[in-house]
Amino acid sequence: MASFAGAFSGLLAFALAKLDGAGGLEGWRWIFIIEGAVTVAVALAVPWVLPDSPQLCSFLTPEEKAFVDRRLAHDAGTQQGRVATHEGYQFSSIKSALLDWRIWFCCIIYNGGSIPVYGFTYTVPSVIVELGYTGEQAQLLTIPLYIGGVISTIGFSLYSDKKRIRWHSIVIPFSIALIGFVALISIPHPRLPGLTYAALFLVPIGVYPPIVALISWIGNNLSPTWKRATASVTSGEL
């Protein structure tokens, strides 16, 4: 969804840029104002509309709640009752997660993916503008790049689930992204705009799948629930 949101964001930014001059503000300011306002509004609503568990979902029937519980147990590898999915607060599990060196190593891997993702997201329109396109054209030209990331993420996820191997979906995409970054540094742009734009595809194709694979890897290999939750948050936020 992150890569898909990037594609939609480019289209939205193209439309919002048309507000240039409205209220005495530049178009790029309207992009931040409107997208930021929607984000804040959703964040304020989440605590009230997002249930804490399937059992608290008023819109689900008892049969649907039981079905979701079974799916959660299966996803967590608890179908044989080894790990509960409805545990109380356990500080010992949180402590165990924070003291596990492997989780901190996962933090390094996660940052190795998230930093290029944000670096790409915030700079790719400027790179495309330097190739000779207008700002509006640059926003539209980011859409195919993110669609490539969507396809890559889904493809590597399906491959990972089929093979039941996670590291392939981390190392291979990172290698693709590395090739893309090296190419972007090496290509004499803006003299070769087509080649530069083609190299840009390798970045989202390579940086989005590892984040999904890493989070899944952590979730598949940790228990109990509180340790798994702590590790997921720690690796994702640090």
pTM for the model stands at 0.72
Contact 208, 149 (CB under 8 A): yes
Q: Can you list the positions of beta strands (E) in 40-158?
A: none
Length of the chain as a residue count: 238
Q: pLDDT, tens digit, for every residue of 166-208?
A: 889 999 999 999 999 999 899 887 788 889 999 999 999 999 9
| Buried residues in 136-154 as b, exposed as e (16+ CB within 10 A) | bebbbbbbebbbbbbebbe
Reply yes or no: is the peptide bond before residue 224 cis, omega within 30 of 0.
yes
Find out whether 116 and 207 touch, Cβ atoms under 8 Å. yes
- CA distances in angstroms from 136 to 96, 139, 188, listed in the order given: 50, 5, 24
Q: Map out the domains of the chain as residue ranges.
A: 91-237
**Cα 84 from Cα 73, distance rounded (Å):** 8
Tell me yes or no: is domain 91-237 CATH 1.20.1250.20. Answer: yes
Tell me the pLDDT tens digit for each residue of 17-29.
778 788 888 877 8
Q: Which tens digits make up the pLDDT trace of 119-145?
A: 888 888 888 988 888 877 888 888 899
Contacts of 6 (CB under 8 A, 6+ apart): 121, 142, 145, 146, 149, 204
**Structure confidence at residue 125 (pLDDT):** 86
